[in-house]
Amino acid sequence: MARNLYRFYLYTVSILLLIFIAIATGRMLNTVLYLTPLRGPFAPVPARQEIVQSVVLAVAAWVIAGALAGLHYWLIRRDIRHDTAAGASAIRSFFLNITEAIGIASAVPIMGFMFSSLGLYEAADVVTAVAFAVPTLALVGLLEWERRRTQVKSGAALVFERLHFYGVQIILLIALSYAWLTQIRLLVDELIFGGRGRLESCHSMGNYVCPTYHIFYLAVSILWFIAFWIGYGWLTSKDSSRILRFMLHGASFAYGIGSILFGV
């Protein structure tokens, strides 16, 4: 019991410190990136004092919180060396998988729809999206690297891992289908018909200044969702849980049938 409470403390503090570093980095990026074209043509440029303050706060967070996170990570690795069962514990699996799942389920759609905004709107301001998604994906990558250092095979630890894999896969499928429904028509119109459908729709509403779409970013947006969805499908391809696989595939099939009926 005492050992489990100790591990709960170590992982809680470590994850919170990493999240704090990611937030501090995101706030810095949210200021610094307004010096780039990502801010769009109308967003104001931040003052020099604001930029310096954000950089100083981010560096302070990296140094102080990074040192504390490093200390707790060293304690985690020492615990695993002294007790090999700690690497496959439910506490470790819960914190790594749930944090990673939340990060992927939030950052991947935000990044994908950021590409969509760049394709649909010439004056898109995507600084906030990039400032959130980049540190979050970096945190997810770090947690995934740590998760792969040990393997879980049974018990509650495996349940949390499966909840991560299958839950995120469903969320990514929903995001992918929404991006597909809203963007594939524009891509087909631009690539095959040279934008004729866009012009006809624009002129039929009495607008003679029609928007210009960037098909590169629209295609990247769809491919972004497809890549992550297929990636999670590959992670679960060798999973032996027939019930969860049946539930996921059944839900995906039902969602696909619903989309077909909606299209008809």
**Among residues of the chain, what percentage have pLDDT more than 70?**
95
Residue range 195-234, pLDDT digits in tens: 776 677 776 666 656 777 788 888 899 999 999 999 888 8
Which residue, chain included where needed, has tokens 């992918």? 176
Radius of gyration of the chain (CA): 22
| Residue 162 pLDDT greater than 90, yes or no | no
Q: With contact defined as beta carbons under 8 Å apart, do 179 and 62 qualify?
A: no
Burial of 215 (0-12, 13-18, 19+ CB in 10 A): middle
Mean pLDDT within 189-194: 76
User: Which pLDDT score is estimated for 233?
Assistant: 84
Which amino acid appears at position 260 of this protein?
A: I
Average pLDDT score, the chain:
85
pLDDT given for residue 141 in this prediction: 94
Closest CA to 146 of 240, 237, 18, 20: 18
Band of pLDDT at residue 249, cut at 50, 70 and 90: confident
